[in-house]
Homo-oligomer: A and B are copies of this chain.
Amino acid sequence: MNNKIVYTPGPTDVRENVRLARATKTTNPDIDKDFVNFYKNTCDKIGKIINTKNDIYILSGEGILGLEAACASLTEAGDRVLVIDNGIFGEGFKDFVSMYGGEAVLFSQDYKKDIDIKSLEEFLENDHNFKYATVVHCDTPTGVLNDLSKICPLLKKYGILTVVDSVAAMVGEELKVDEWMIDIVLGGSQKAISAPAGLTIVSISKDAKNIIKNRKSKIIGFYCNLSIWENYYEKKSFPYTMPISDIIGLDKAIDNVLEEGIQSVLARHDKIAYATRNAIKDYGLGLFLENGYSNTVTAVKIPENIGALNLSNYMLENYNTLVATSLSQYKDKLLRIGHMGENARIDKILNILNTIDISLRKMGFNGKYNLVDRFNKYYK
């Protein structure tokens, strides 16, 4: 099962030192105060990477846990919530909002473009009575990247809290939580951070904590309740047994980022994404997006007579290589190249581009150039 060449927009390849860290014997996370410090220290390092002094928590559960926890903790019956929607995951937030009794108001835009700030401004001028807004940083099914540096301060100006899903962007795209005034940011361990899936990262502002504290109704649920983490450090106690082995792995992945330097990591993503996009275009395939290209994932249009699913099946059967197409309406239309985290490495992208190239040729699509050759051209 595990001998395949995997190149998807998450879970990404996990570096050896992270994997081996996961294999070490551990202390007891419930009663060893050393672990509380260790956990806090990991959180602080994440804060450094995403440029915030806000509290950070690591939750035991997949990234979606954070999205739900933010909505569960903020939403009270009848609350109006702005759901900014230019992608499948963007729209998906409406379910969490309504599940907890809120009224989701969608601001929907072209899925081929990032959120147009002017349009949002105009919308907000007319309607800004929202408790909070949800935004997706990078919407993985299509790879569109939204400009949080503009969106979040704008919402804040209207007193609207922001909940940002940065699961597929964090560490691969710049994230300045404090400067951009983001209230709740959500990340996952398995994307550009390149640790295994199973952990959710939450950054939460004082404003968000106050809103939660001053709710009129109780939060429904415990596992998705962010307020249970309040003052864990002072109390030296967690709401439940922490997955210490996973966190030790995450900590090592974070150290890898810090050791390389977050700016170098971002530059590495940028260089590879840039060369990939241009190589794809020269080759004769189209990109799904018209603008708002993320550096973590590139969605490539696959000609209808080939089909994205056929292509991915062909690569699996003939080259033991696992790549992802997309979701819902894009399932058979887009191939996604997930050059994030440890996948944003020259040897890996080269191999995947070459496998795409030779597979397409065998399936009857003749690219104008050798794809690796084009990549070389744009990769500096």
Q: Which residues in window 200-256 of A have CB below 8 A to B?
A: 218, 220-224, 240-246, 248
- Kindly provide the distance from the CB of A328 to the nearest chain B CB, expressed in whole angstroms: 13
Does A346 belong to the interface (CB within 8 Å)?
yes
A222 touches B99 (CB 8 A): yes
Assembly CA distance A321 to B25 (angstroms): 14
Q: How many copies does the complex hold?
A: 4
Would you call A306 an interface residue if the criterion is a C-beta within 8 Å of the partner chain's C-beta atoms? no
Beta-carbon contacts under 8 Å, A330-374 to B: 346-348, 350-351, 354, 357-358, 370, 372-373
* CB-based contact A14/B4 at 8 Å: no
Does any Cβ of B come within 8 Å of A57's Cβ? no
| A102: Cβ under 8 A from any B Cβ | no
**How far apart are the CA atoms of A54 and B40 in the complex, in Å?**
40
Residues of B within 8 A of A190 (CB): 241
The answer to whether A105 has its CB under 8 Å from any CB of chain B is no
B61 touches A65 (CB 8 A): yes
**Shortest beta-carbon distance from A246 to chain B in Å:** 5
Cα distance, A99 to B354, chains bound together (Å): 52
Q: Is A122 located at the chain interface by the 8 A CB criterion?
A: no
**A63 and B372 within 8 A (CB):** no
Interface pick from A27-35, A265-273, A276-284, A291-299 = A27-35
Contact A347 B5 (CB under 8 A): yes
